[in-house]
Amino acid sequence: MEKTFVMIKPDGVQRNLIGTIVERFEKKGYQLKAAKLMHISDELAGEHYGEHKGKPFYDELVSFITSSPVFAMVWEGDNVIAAARQMMGKTNPQEASPGTIRGDFGISVGKNIIHGSDSSESAEREINLFFDEQELLQYDKINKNWLY
Ligand SMILES: Nc1ncnc2c1ncn2[C@@H]1O[C@H](COP(=O)(O)OP(=O)(O)OP(=O)(O)O)[C@@H](O)[C@H]1O
C-alpha cells in the first residue's frame, strides 16, 4: 500500500484548517498512519527543502516553515501520492482550481497551506525525516481490533 507525507504549513494551522484538511483525506478513504503538531527546526527545514537551496525564495521559505507549528502526517492508500497532489492543487493558489485545498484556502505561493510529497522517492525520504518507524501505525497488526 502506498504512503505519502503531507504537512499543513503554519498558515493552515493558524487558520484552523487542520480538521477540514484531515476530513478531506478521510472522506476519500485514506488512512492516517501518523500525525503530530510540531515545530520544525532550522536543520530539519534545510533537509526538507534542500532541493531549493540557492533559489531566491529559499530564505523566506525556511523562515516561514520554522516560524510556528506545522501539522505533519503520513497517509496511506491506493495511489495516495498522486491523489494528495491533486487534492492540494497547484503550488500557486491563484492558479489552483476551486475544490482543491490551495484553490479554496491558499493566499499566495508562499502561504499555500499544505505540502505533499511529489514522488515515491520523496515520500519515503520525507516520512523518514519527520517520523520514526515506530510512530507509524501498523494497521495489519491491529486489524483484529478494528471495528469498521
Ligand atoms: N516563487 C516562489 N516564491 C515563494 N515561495 C515559493 C516560490 N516557489 C515555490 N515556493 C514555495 O516553496 C514550496 C516548494 O516549492 P515546489 O516547487 O516544490 O512546490 P510544490 O511541490 O507544489 O510545494 P510543496 O513542496 O510545498 O508541496 C512551495 O510550496 C511554495 O510554498
Residues with Cβ within 8 Å of 11's Cβ and at least 6 positions away in sequence, in order, are 107, 111, 112, 113
From first to last of the 148 residues of the chain, give the pLDDT tens digit.
899 999 999 999 999 999 999 999 999 999 999 999 999 999 999 999 999 999 999 999 999 999 999 999 999 999 999 999 999 999 999 999 999 999 999 999 999 999 999 999 999 999 999 999 999 988 777 777 777 7
Distance CA 93, CA 104 (A): 8
Q: What is the pLDDT of residue 92?
A: 98
- Consult the annotation and say whether 91 binds a ligand: yes
Pocket of ligand 1 (CB under 6 A): 57, 61, 91, 109-110, 112, 115-116, 118
Distance CA 40, CA 42 (A): 7
- Consult the annotation and say whether 130 binds a ligand: no
Q: ipTM, 2 decimals?
A: 0.91
The residue assigned the cell 481490533 is: 145
Domain 2-138 is found in CATH 3.30.70.141 = yes
Q: Where are the domains of the chain?
A: 2-138
Ligand 1 mutation pick, 7, 61, 81, 101, max ligand atoms within 8 A of CB: 61
Chain centroid, CA 67 distance in Å: 17
Cell numbers of 27, please?
472522506
Active site residue 39: no
Å from CA of 61 to ligand 1 middle: 8
